[in-house]
Amino acid sequence: MAAKEAWDALSQSLGVPGLTGIAIVAFTIYLVIHSHTAGLDHIPGPFLARYTNLHAWLYAQWYWGTNVCYLRRLHGEYGDVVRVGPRRVSVSNPDAIQTIYGMKASLNKSELIRAAQPLGKGPDNLFSVRDSKVHGRMRRAVANAYSVSTIVQYEPRIDDTLDALFKVLQNESPETNIGKWVHYYVYDVAGNMTYAQPLGYLEQKCDAVGLIKQTKMLHRYINCTMPMPILHDIASFVVRLVKAHSYTIFHLLTKQKVQERLQQANAGDEGKSETTFKPDILAHFVASREKYPDWMTEEQIITHCMVNVVAGVGTSTTSINNVLKYLVAHPAAQETLYQELQRANVSCPVSWRQTQGLPFLEGLVREGVRLRDASSFNPNGRNVGPEGLILPGDVYLPPGTVVGIKPSVASVQVRTFGEQPYEFCPERWCRREGETEGDYVARRTKMDAGDMSFSAGTRGCIGRGIAIMQIYKLVATLVSQYKLLPATRNDHPESHYEFFCILQPRESVQ
Ligand code: HEM
């Protein structure tokens, strides 16, 4: 009662402006204390970033939809280690990759990943789980589905999707939105490999299960919440409060596929299934239930399948489109690739085995992946553990600091990739004229170790092999069948997943 009377007296004497002033001063004092107790005063960075994550948030909103990575500029200005938030540090030195992402450090994912966790209440997935021990168990349960020896079993499913793509292209006018068809191909490969069903993009020639629209909204949401994960917590709280839940067509389709397969397995009917002879990823998930029953419940298998479909579509599409755009603009490079494919006597579709040992194809794809959308979200920060962390150059980071090396920052390091790292240059991955074998191996080892496109260590991309296989096969088959020429139309594509070119069948090429 006394407290209430004191509060009434104070608010009457100060009024609203006075109380607002006190609140602002108190909040500023909190920000200053929060900043100085982080133990990061020795790390340079923008003034505002020392006190609030609003700095990162503003930049993320400002550059949304552009291909600008503001962290590259900050590293240019402040050096290898930059303070980008009160308790956040961005690193550009490739020598720090093992320190931060290596098995020995085994750091937990940072709070930034919260933005990619399910809204409201839902199971964590392989991508979003933070604790490295929990993640290790989850990953072991699914690892077999992604091993080098397993993924070749999925090749017939990529071939089926390539057939579908080429049928569409044959019936299209030669000047076509190849970027859009690539996007549809990648979605259908993902569905076909995951649960033996293309998602219908190439057949229906549209966003068949709404994933393109949803992904766009999700990226917008993550771009807004990731720099300040408290915004995600507020949204999650509201969702829980109103008990809102909506199931998308994609979720229902995945659930149905998983339930059908689990019923078959429980009834001992797998022998009759097509996937016994032509396994998909779900077949491996179901098989792994026996060994990891607690980690492969129905709900978890549904989540793994959904992540599997959405995790690699945008990245694979932009990588392929980068390669194709380069080939359209550089006819000589296209000819080099075509000659390489001719010498390898490739079939149609080009097989995974035939794509091995083709250095120019490899160089093209490595550049396509390395230089994909720089602004793409990637909350790959890690939390420094209780012992702290010492970065190369003896820079100490105290416990609780969020530290990371963004792929888009690592990808433009001169010390890793040589001169003009912003240039798309497939030859940088090949042995140069006059270069000794030893020098080439040393240069390649450095580039391989410094390329963060698929991240590194225990949380590195589990789908890397699958991504590379579907990209190699598409690029090689397309260029072996068609000559790609610049479009004559100049209408503005709707998204960076789209672009036009003319496809001239190879037999008609003079
Ligand atoms: C060019 C294509 C791709 C690129 C550039 C890419 C990139 C990445 C990166 C950078 C990470 C790690 C993020 C971090 O460190 O926090 C990651 C993780 C992951 N990726 Fe990919 N990815 C691609 C394709 C795929 C595909 C096709 C799949 C599925 C078949 C996939 C599934 C995953 C999963 C499940 C994770 C989480 C792994 C874990 O935390 O254990 N990715 N990816």
ipTM of the complex: 0.98
CA 219 – ligand 1 centroid, Å: 15
Question: In angstroms, rounded to a whole number, what is the distance separating the alpha carbons of residues 508 and 510?
Answer: 6
CA 164 – ligand 1 centroid, Å: 26
CA 290 – ligand 1 centroid, Å: 26
* Residue whose CA lies nearest to ligand 1 atom number 11: 461
**477 burial class (0-12, 13-18, 19+ CB within 10 angstroms)?**
buried
CA 501 – ligand 1 centroid, Å: 29
Question: In angstroms, rounded to a whole number, what is the distance separating the alpha carbons of residues 416 and 457?
Answer: 18
Query: Which pLDDT belongs to residue 270?
Result: 67
Task: Indicate whether 9 pLDDT > 80.
Answer: no
* Residue whose CA lies nearest to ligand 1 atom number 17: 461
With respect to residue 13, please indicate whether it lies within any of the assigned structural domains: no
| Ligand 1, pocket-test mutation among 154, 371, 461, most atoms within 8 A of CB | 461
* Residue whose CA lies nearest to ligand 1 atom number 1: 316
Position in ligand 1 atom list of the atom nearest CA 470: 27
Query: Which pLDDT belongs to residue 388?
Result: 96
* Residue whose CA lies nearest to ligand 1 atom number 2: 316
Contact 317, 178 (CB under 8 A): no
Query: Which pLDDT belongs to residue 433?
Result: 94
With respect to residue 492, please indicate whether it lies within any of the assigned structural domains: yes
Q: Lowest mean pLDDT: which of 71-80, 142-151, 268-277?
A: 268-277
Task: Indicate whether 60 pLDDT > 50.
Answer: yes
With respect to residue 31, please indicate whether it lies within any of the assigned structural domains: no
Position in ligand 1 atom list of the atom nearest CA 456: 15
Position in ligand 1 atom list of the atom nearest CA 281: 30
SS3 383: strand
* Residue whose CA lies nearest to ligand 1 atom number 18: 461
Query: Which pLDDT belongs to residue 68?
Result: 84
Question: In angstroms, rounded to a whole number, what is the distance separating the alpha carbons of residues 127 and 205?
Answer: 30
Query: Which pLDDT belongs to residue 496?
Result: 75
Query: Which pLDDT belongs to residue 246?
Result: 64
**H/E stretch holding 193:** helix 178-195
Instruction: Find the domain containing 473 and state its range.
Output: 39-505
CA 464 – ligand 1 centroid, Å: 7
CA 264 – ligand 1 centroid, Å: 30
Please count the structural domains in the chain: 1
Residue 501 annotated as part of some ligand binding site: no
Q: Is this prediction's pTM over 0.90?
A: yes
**42 burial class (0-12, 13-18, 19+ CB within 10 angstroms)?**
exposed
Q: At 148, which CATH number?
A: 1.10.630.10
Contact 382, 91 (CB under 8 A): no
With respect to residue 22, please indicate whether it lies within any of the assigned structural domains: no
Ligand 1 environment, Cβ below 6 A? 126-127, 139, 307-308, 311-312, 315-316, 319, 369, 378, 380, 407, 453-455, 459, 461-463, 466-467
With respect to residue 126, please indicate whether it lies within any of the assigned structural domains: yes
Q: What is the pLDDT of residues 198-210, one digit of tens each?
A: 999 999 999 999 9
With respect to residue 18, please indicate whether it lies within any of the assigned structural domains: no
With respect to residue 271, please indicate whether it lies within any of the assigned structural domains: yes
* Residue whose CA lies nearest to ligand 1 atom number 13: 380
With respect to residue 379, please indicate whether it lies within any of the assigned structural domains: yes
* Residue whose CA lies nearest to ligand 1 atom number 37: 127
Question: In angstroms, rounded to a whole number, what is the distance separating the alpha carbons of residues 331 and 483?
Answer: 9
| Residue 271: pLDDT band with limits 50, 70, 90 | low
Q: What is the pLDDT of residues 461-499, one digit of tens each?
A: 999 999 999 999 999 999 999 999 999 877 766 677 889
Query: Which pLDDT belongs to residue 120?
Result: 65
CA 509 – ligand 1 centroid, Å: 38
Amino acid at 151: I
